[in-house]
């Protein structure tokens, strides 16, 4: 009975402590809830401007998704897309203008509403630790030689100028009949060796490149929220990782950094036979918003997360780099040019040769495009050797 008396005497203390703990928990929750992930004003702004600038169709689709996306993002801690909910939008086939489009763009429109796909390979651990720069490379299953060359050269996971660099490849699924299971098996082996493959269960094709963008932006928002910078590019480019880090350091940690080979007044192509043909039903503006070549560009991590949210409220656009320009426009961010990023075609054959042979030229650049894996490995060796250049071709 003495023990019981003791417990009774202390009961009020126990009660007090538990009330305190519960109140603290409630307060903490309320505090987190009241902090919007994305300021209200911004989402209103982006709504307005996107209505003005593009997406004439499907206005209601856009509005319906505003609340959904924001609440969804608050809780997502891991990739949460398990099934493919993707059936063709058959109501389009009744539209008179639809019948006149080419087969590829028809296919794009039929599946335009399918956005997020299950992951076949994921690496949630990729951004653990103090990663400064995430190198993100669009690749395809069969391009393993290019991936191999990148891993050996500019994509090495290491510290550059004391900053941690990590690498991922973005892949879809190549539907190529009987051989496909073998290729997929090889990819699995490759991923087990290097742990750098992110693969989504959508078909790999030109018009689906935008799916790579939106699925990557979502992935990044979930797994890499504290990574300050992203370099994103193709798998046939040369990247001077050291120069990139030097440039990023000098940029003073801009949260809205978006830098590449800029196109500020580019026109939609209306010729039906072009790879880039866009009918007015998809985009009826005169100019695309300013955008940079998807061949290689830099963006700040916090901006990528804002772009993820903005993009969820926009119709997918078949050209991936233009789509990112549209997201930037919605966010009122201007992409910036950089003369050291050479990703637009160097068309003249003579000039291209000269570029690919002169390591001094490469040493002063950030990104150069169109190199075979062999050229890349050779150029990397030359650039990282004790190269003596008589004159600096260009200053960063
Ligand atoms: C684009 O579409 C909108 C809405 O459908 C229409 O009001 C506008 O006049 C069109 N603009 C052009 C340049 O065709
Ligand atoms: C979004 O949520 C707010 C508040 O919960 C509500 O007032 C608004 O009507 C909703 N918007 C849409 C488009 O459902
Ligand atoms: C299907 O296409 C029609 C016509 O363009 C459009 O109004 C509708 O929103 C689309 N449905 C989906 C799920 O995207
Ligand atoms: C994009 O991928 C989806 C899912 O695999 C597929 O249904 C669709 O046809 C693809 N889009 C194009 C334009 O091929």
> What angle (nearest 5°) sits at the alpha carbon of residue 212, between those of residues 249 and 365?
35
Indicate which atom in ligand 2 lies nearest the CA of residue 63. 13
* Nearest-ligand number for the alpha carbon of 279: 1
Q: From the CB of 88, is ligand 4 less than 6 Å away?
A: no
Q: Return the DSSP state at 206.
A: G
The model's confidence at residue 214, banded by pLDDT at 50, 70 and 90, is: very high
Taking only the tens place, the pLDDT of each residue in 347-378 is 444 455 445 567 887 888 889 888 899 999 99
The yes-or-no verdict on residue 56 having pLDDT over 90 is no
Distance in angstroms (rounded) separating the CA atoms of residues 292 and 260: 5
Pocket probe for ligand 3: among 55, 58, 280, the residue whose CB has the most ligand atoms within 8 Å is 58
The yes-or-no verdict on residue 204 having pLDDT over 50 is yes
Residues with CB under 6 A from ligand 2: 63, 66-67
pLDDT the model gives residue 396: 39
pLDDT the model gives residue 60: 35
116 membership: H or E segment, kind and range: none
The yes-or-no verdict on residue 379 having pLDDT over 80 is yes
> Looking only at Cα atoms, what is the longest distance across the chain?
100
Q: Which residues pair with 296 in a beta bridge?
A: 233
Residues 6 or more apart whose Cβ sits within 8 Å of residue 289: 53, 54, 322, 325, 326, 328, 329
Q: Are strands 341-342 and 367-369 parallel, antiparallel or unpaired?
A: parallel
pLDDT the model gives residue 33: 52
Chain centre to alpha carbon of residue 19: 46
Residues with CB under 6 A from ligand 3: 57-58, 61, 89, 91-92, 113
pLDDT the model gives residue 177: 78
What is each CA distance from 226 to 43, 141, 161, 213, in whole angstroms? 22, 29, 19, 19
pLDDT > 70: percent of the chain: 83
**Residue 367 near residue 341 (C-beta atoms within 8 A):** yes
pLDDT the model gives residue 74: 57
Helix (H, G, I), strand (E, B) or coil at 298: strand
Task: Kindly report the number of other CB atoms within 10 A of residue 1's CB atom.
Answer: 5
* Nearest-ligand number for the alpha carbon of 68: 2
Residues with CB under 6 A from ligand 1: 56, 284
Taking only the tens place, the pLDDT of each residue in 11-53 is 888 788 888 888 887 777 665 554 444 443 343 343 433 333 3
Q: Which of 255-269, 308-322, 378-392 has the lowest mean pLDDT?
A: 378-392
The yes-or-no verdict on residue 199 having pLDDT over 80 is yes
Whole-number Å distance, alpha carbon 255 to ligand 2 midpoint, is: 29
pLDDT the model gives residue 80: 93
Report the chain's mean pLDDT, rounded to a whole number: 85
Q: Ligand 2, atom 9: nearest CA belongs to which residue?
A: 67
Taking only the tens place, the pLDDT of each residue in 114-148 is 999 999 999 999 999 999 999 999 999 999 999 99
The alpha-carbon radius of gyration of the chain (Å, integer) is: 25
Q: Which two tokens stand for residue 379?
A: 């150029």
Distance in angstroms (rounded) separating the CA atoms of residues 203 and 110: 14
Tell me whether residue 165 is exposed, middle or buried, using C-beta atoms within 10 angstroms of its C-beta: 0 to 12, 13 to 18, 19 or more: buried
Indicate which atom in ligand 2 lies nearest the CA of residue 67. 1
Indicate which atom in ligand 4 lies nearest the CA of residue 105. 13
Helix (H, G, I), strand (E, B) or coil at 152: helix
The model's confidence at residue 108, banded by pLDDT at 50, 70 and 90, is: very high
CATH topology of domain 90-342: Spore Coat Polysaccharide Biosynthesis Protein SpsA; Chain A (3.90.550)
Helix boundaries (H) for the chain: 2-33, 40-53, 59-75, 96-99, 103-110, 144-152, 180-194, 209-223, 241-250, 301-312, 320-330, 349-357, 359-363, 373-384
Helix (H, G, I), strand (E, B) or coil at 392: coil
| Mean pLDDT computed over 139-160 | 97
pLDDT the model gives residue 153: 98
Q: Which residues pair with 180 in a beta bridge?
A: none
pLDDT the model gives residue 344: 67
Closest by Cα among 217, 346, 326 to 278: 326
pLDDT > 90: percent of the chain: 63
pLDDT the model gives residue 126: 98
Q: Ligand 2, atom 8: nearest CA belongs to which residue?
A: 67
| Mean pLDDT computed over 269-276 | 89
pTM (predicted TM-score): 0.78
Q: Ligand 2, atom 11: nearest CA belongs to which residue?
A: 67
Helix (H, G, I), strand (E, B) or coil at 335: coil
Whole-number Å distance, alpha carbon 67 to ligand 2 midpoint, is: 6
């Amino acid at each position: 009975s003495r023990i019981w008396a003791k417990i009774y005497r202390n009961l009020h203390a126990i009660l007090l402590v538990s009330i305190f703990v519960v109140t603290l928990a409630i307060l903490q929750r309320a505090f987190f809830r009241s902090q919007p992930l994305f300021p209200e004003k911004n989402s209103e702004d982006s709504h307005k401007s996107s209505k003005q600038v593009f997406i004439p169709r499907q206005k209601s689709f856009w509005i319906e998704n505003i609340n959904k996306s924001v609440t969804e993002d608050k809780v997502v801690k891991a990739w949460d897309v398990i099934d493919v909910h993707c059936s063709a939008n058959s109501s389009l086939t009744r539209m008179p203008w639809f019948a006149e489009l080419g087969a590829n763009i028809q296919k794009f429109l039929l599946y335009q509403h399918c956005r997020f796909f299950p992951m076949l390979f994921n690496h949630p651990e990729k951004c653990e630790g103090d990663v400064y720069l995430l190198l993100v490379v669009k690749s395809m299953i069969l391009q393993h030689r290019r991936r191999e060359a990148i891993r050996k050269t500019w994509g090495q996971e290491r510290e550059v100028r004391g900053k941690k660099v990590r690498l991922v490849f973005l892949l879809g699924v190549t539907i190529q009949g009987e051989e496909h299971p073998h290729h997929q098996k090889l990819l699995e082996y490759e991923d087990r060796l290097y742990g750098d493959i992110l693969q989504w269960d959508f078909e790999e094709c030109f018009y689906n490149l935008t799916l790579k963008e939106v699925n990557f932006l979502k992935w990044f928002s979930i797994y890499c929220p504290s990574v300050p910078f992203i370099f994103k590019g193709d798998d046939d480019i040369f990247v001077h990782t050291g120069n990139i880090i030097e440039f990023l350091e000098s940029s003073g940690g801009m949260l809205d950094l978006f830098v590449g080979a800029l196109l500020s007044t580019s026109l939609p192509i209306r010729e039906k036979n072009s790879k880039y043909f866009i009918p007015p039903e998809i985009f009826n503006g005169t100019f695309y918003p300013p955008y940079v070549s998807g061949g290689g560009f830099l963006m700040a991590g916090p901006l990528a997360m804002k772009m993820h949210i903005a993009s969820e409220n926009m119709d997918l656009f078949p050209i991936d780099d233009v789509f990112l320009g549209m997201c930037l426009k919605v966010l009122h961010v201007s992409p910036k040019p950089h003369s050291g990023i050479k990703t637009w075609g160097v068309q003249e054959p003579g000039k291209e040769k000269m570029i690919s042979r002169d390591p001094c030229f490469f040493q002063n650049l950030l990104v150069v495009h169109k190199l075979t894996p062999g050229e890349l490995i050779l150029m990397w060796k030359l650039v990282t050797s004790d190269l003596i250049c008589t004159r600096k071709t260009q200053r960063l």
